[in-house]
Copies of this chain bind each other. A is one copy, B any other.
């Protein structure tokens, strides 16, 4: 019995039967609600809209079986779609057979990378990016997505490529906007904006319960898509006025396509796939984590990687579009009452029915309406709250946010993410290179030592107690040495000749080889000037290493267990 279920996830083998109803209804609701989003993101990725539906089926099941989150919903997501477009549109015509093969290859590659990272337990890699960097990346990408949809919204062709090309071709084409498209597109956008901003308050004001109001708001994108399609059909906008619609949709489910990308193709996609895997990992884990905390559950980063990886590998062969863990999609799932991944499996099965039964309904869906829904979704991703908080809390984090967002907008997704990594790790290193250093004194009548600038502490003439609040490594030794010599000079001028320096090492968690070298030289230098160098409060692991170093045997002073011990020994009798 145990043997037969050990490979099944816990939520399957120990399924809580009381949650079946909630999961079934949530799964059905999500399937219907995410239809417009799935179509829209496929379009954003430069792929036929139905692809968004296809990859909402088997990849979702794969994630449900391998991932660790109870409520994360996997599927086509905005960032991954945008990355697909930005990577592939320069090398193949969007929508062309070659493009479809490349998109599938990209999905396969990033899926394999995620799987490998999961198997190697590399979940900690998702820490490579700080939250302001992620927020900056997502916000910059969101603006890029909005810009990419402007042309479709008003019915003018817009060149792909970078931000500047898109903007300039949009503005030069704007005077030739296609009026019927523009009316449909802006109308849909207006409806969506109003339903998001005002509808809830109106409904509650009209007597509806808040919970129901939320459901109505969630249904609005679907309503707008239906309204748009019905308008097109009713007024024959596509046939008589040339409003662009989705067009012929292949009927039924696609087979599992077994394609073999060439080595050259795979090679050229390695770097983009890596960046996509990295972003997918970071975002997917962040979404799963945020949801888990709200539900007082825990996720396992490595299981998440396996789930996301498997979903992408499956997507490569069935649909052919990279997928990820989506915040909107998961929020819909939670709001609809999902309790376990069974809800996602129900969603997937329902989606099969949708694809088989309703696909031809999509043929007259106006693209301008999809563009409006993409713009709304993207706009909601612009995260200015994180920027504002970072600005108040830590300017360096705000700078990393802005640098990443501007990098994405001005130079593309890859440059943006690299800029973010360099800025955030650079900040960590730079700060370690500017350590806080305090001259210490003893609080009279106690054994406590404090910064003499902040406290009225007693000192010994000719003896300097110095505490460095940072590990000692190659990057901060010049700063430490300069400050140390500066303090010695001040003391020299103020009191009798300096005879002793006590380095209080309580906050030094590490000393690298360069630090040992520099302190050995400093020890020699000070000895020549008649100053002994003592060490106090060395941490265990640091002392273990120091005893093997070249400094230990030549240290001119003593090693004290505590600053107080040094104080007692060095003060004049």
Contact = CB atoms under 8 A, between A and B. Distances in A.
Interface of A: 123-124, 126-132, 290, 293, 296, 298, 301, 386, 389-390, 392-394, 396-397, 424-425, 427-429, 431-433, 435-436, 454, 469-471, 473-479, 485, 507, 509-510, 512-514, 516-517, 521, 524-525, 528-529, 539-541, 545, 548-550
Contacts of A389: 513, 516, 549-550
Contact of A521 (B293, B396, B524): B293
A397 B513 contact: yes
A431 B510 contact: yes
A131 B514 CA distance: 5
A432 B428 contact: yes
Nearest to A126: B478
A501 to B, nearest CB: 16
A436 B473 CA distance: 17
Contacts of A549: 389, 393
A127 B478 contact: yes
Contacts of A528: 296
Contacts of A471: 431-432
B394 A513 contact: yes
Contacts of A433: 124, 127
Given A389-B550, A433-B124, A549-B393, A524 B131 contact: no
Given A301-B478, A431-B471, 7 more contacts: A123-B478, A128-B475, A296-B529, A298-B485, A428-B432, A429-B429, A432-B432
Given A127-B475, A425-B425, A436-B541, A392 B509 contact: no
Contacts of A514: 130-132, 397
B516 A393 contact: yes
Contacts of A479: 124
A509 B510 CA distance: 14
9 contacts: A123-B478, A126-B478, A127-B474, A393-B548, A425-B429, A428-B432, A428-B475, A428-B512, A431-B471
A514 B289 CA distance: 14
Contact of A513 (B131, B476, B525): B131
Nearest to A540: B454
B541 A473 contact: no
Nearest to A386: B513
Nearest to A522: B293
A384 B424 CA distance: 35
Contact of A469 (B392, B436, B509): B509
B545 A124 contact: no
